[in-house]
């Protein structure tokens, strides 16, 4: 029995480990398009802020360690672009070698995760506008901060947005949070979010509730300006979209 798992990290690597424990003879292949197959997602903002100083401590497993401990065939940099259900094969683009090949399977498991939502506003896709989902995203944000950034705007006041806000304040950045609803983490009870709103405001965070970002543009001095629904504008060095995530179902 050969199982091909598309995607690593939490779902894919855990599925591979469980399948191996159920069947020592199974052939298990994990195809991950990013360079890292297993990392601590929740630690990403805390490395940005310095609470987790060592980048390497976020990397939990490698293809080599999974091959040694669980006999998993883990291949990073492999982008699965098509599923041939009739032939029971997936078409894979090897990003490093620039070639395309087909991999057969008896069972196929899709663990493609989610992708960050960029609001449908002008400038949201600017290369200087960041999201945070994986290690390369984290590295890019740190690179932007290390260019002498003194301010940041976070669009979205939920988990990732607030964790990034904490990270930016830990680095001494003047930080603004833009949240389109009237309170942070709006799915919580108002009695809880009132306490949260107050706490965030005591951390010298510019909290803009009930406000949306309507555009991100480049200024004359090559900084970023975020235009808001209330008619104001914020000029800043770093912009991160933390507006939620949606299932990555394009392959399926």
Q: Which residues pair with 38 in a beta bridge?
A: 61
The dihedral of CA 60, 172, 184, 179: what is its sign? negative
Mind listing the pLDDT tens digit for each residue in 102-154? 999 999 999 999 999 999 999 999 999 999 999 999 999 999 999 999 999 99
Note the pLDDT tens digit of each residue in 182-232.
Answer: 999 988 999 999 999 999 989 999 999 999 999 999 999 989 999 999 999
Cα 193 to Cα 184: distance, rounded to the nearest angstrom: 6
pTM for this model (two decimals): 0.91
For residue 135, what are the contacts with CB-CB under 8 A and spacing of at least 6? 34, 35, 36, 39, 44, 58, 59
């Amino acid at each position: 029995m050969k199982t091909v798992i598309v995607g690593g990290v939490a779902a894919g690597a855990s599925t591979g480990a469980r399948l191996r424990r159920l069947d020592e003879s199974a052939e298990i292949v994990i195809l991950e398009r990013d360079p890292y197959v297993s990392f601590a997602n929740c630690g990403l903002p805390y490395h940005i802020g310095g609470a987790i100083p060592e980048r390497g401590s976020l990397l939990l497993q490698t293809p080599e360690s999974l091959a040694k401990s669980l006999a998993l065939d883990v291949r990073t940099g492999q982008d699965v672009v098509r599923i041939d259900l009739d032939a029971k094969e997936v078409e894979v683009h090897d990003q490093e070698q620039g070639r395309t090949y087909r991999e057969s399977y008896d069972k196929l498991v899709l663990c493609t995760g989610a992708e960050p939502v960029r609001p449908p506003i002008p400038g949201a896709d600017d290369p200087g506008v960041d999201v945070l989902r994986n290690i390369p995203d984290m590295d890019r944000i740190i690179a932007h901060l290390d260019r002498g950034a003194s301010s940041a705007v976070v669009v979205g006041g939920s988990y990732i947005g607030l964790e990034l806000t904490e990270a930016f304040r830990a680095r001494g950045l003047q930080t603004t949070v833009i949240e389109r609803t009237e309170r942070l983490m709006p799915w919580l009870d108002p009695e809880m979010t009132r306490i949260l709103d107050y706490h965030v405001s005591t951390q010298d965070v510019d909290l803009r509730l009930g406000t949306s970002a309507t555009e991100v543009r480049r200024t004359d001095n090559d900084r970023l300006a975020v235009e808001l629904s209330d008619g104001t504008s914020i000029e800043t060095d770093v912009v991160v979209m933390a507006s939620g995530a949606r299932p990555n179902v394009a392959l399926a």
